[in-house]
Each structure stands twice: as structure tokens, then as C-alpha cells.
Amino acid sequence: MQYWLLKSEPDVWSIDQQRKAGVKGAPWDGVRNYQAAKNLKTMKKGDQCFFYHSNIGKEIVGIVEVVKEHYIDKTDKSGRFVAVTVKFLKKLDNPVSLDEIKKNKDLSHLSLIKQSRLSVMPIDSKSWKLLNKMSKY
């Protein structure tokens, strides 16, 4: 299993909307960055992802799971970009803020800090465990 971080503006798609999508999940679509799209293509069914609220909040707020691997994104008229389907697993009792993440030296290598505009990024297993611990998951 691999781990990921998915960023969404909560006024566009929030963790609560993801929860309401139920067990079938919802498409993670609208990604138009080639590096982020490549990451979507790498995702496998069963991979887990942090759900990060960007712009408003700037914090990890939950965990979702990939339930359908990449397919053509129906919102992309060009047919070049892909989507995956993710389902809600958990809303964090204690969201982990970007400031907290930046203060932790063991997380300084994360794309969340180094490539802040990237919306889909891998998370190594050591960092996954540390971020979960920070959220008291």
C-alpha cells in the first residue's frame, strides 16, 4: 500500500462532502497539473490518502481510500487527464495544520512544503505514521 496527500479547497469539496458521498466514494477529478496527474495514475486500489483542506484552513482533516484506479476525467474535454475514486474513511479529531507540519524537522522533505502548489503528492510511510501520531489517530 502507498500513501498520498490530496488537496482540496473546502469551499469546492470538503471532507464533510466526501463523507456524504458514502461507501461508493466520489471522483477526485479536476486535476490539471501533469505531475499531480502522474501521481493519480500511480495510485492503486486500497491506497490511503490524507485529505488536506487548502487555502481555507491549510490542514490535514481526514483520511480517504482509493476505491477505483485512474480513468479518464469526465471534466477534462481534452481527454488527457485522469481521475480516481476515493471513499471517506475518517475525519481527524485533531486536524494537523501546515504550521505544525512545517515545524517538524522530520517532515521538511514533504512535497507539501517543497512543492506547495502540487495537489496530489506521495507520502512516505514514516511520514504517514508521524502525521497520524500528530493527529492522535
CB 8 within 8 A of CB 54: yes
Which three cell numbers mark 64? Answer: 480517504
CA distance 122 to 42: 10
Q: Nearest Cα to 84, choosing from 30, 33, 125, 7?
A: 30
Residue boundaries of the structural domains of the chain: 3-134
Average pLDDT over residues 48-74: 97
Those residues whose C-beta lies under 8 Å from the C-beta of residue 20, and which sit 6 or more positions away, are: none
Instruction: Say which CATH superfamily domain 3-134 falls into.
Output: ph1033 like domains (3.10.590.10)
Average pLDDT over residues 48-73: 97
Each residue of 57-70: b (16+ CB within 10 Å) or e? bbbbbbbbbbbbbb
Q: Which residue has the cell 466526501?
A: 18
Say whether pLDDT at 52 is over 60. yes
Q: Is 119 exposed, middle or buried (0-12, 13-18, 19+ CB in 10 A)?
A: buried
Quick: pLDDT tens for 107-120.
999 999 999 889 99
In this predicted structure, what is the pLDDT of residue 116?
Answer: 86
Quick: pLDDT tens for 79-133.
999 999 999 999 999 999 999 999 999 999 999 999 988 999 999 999 999 999 9
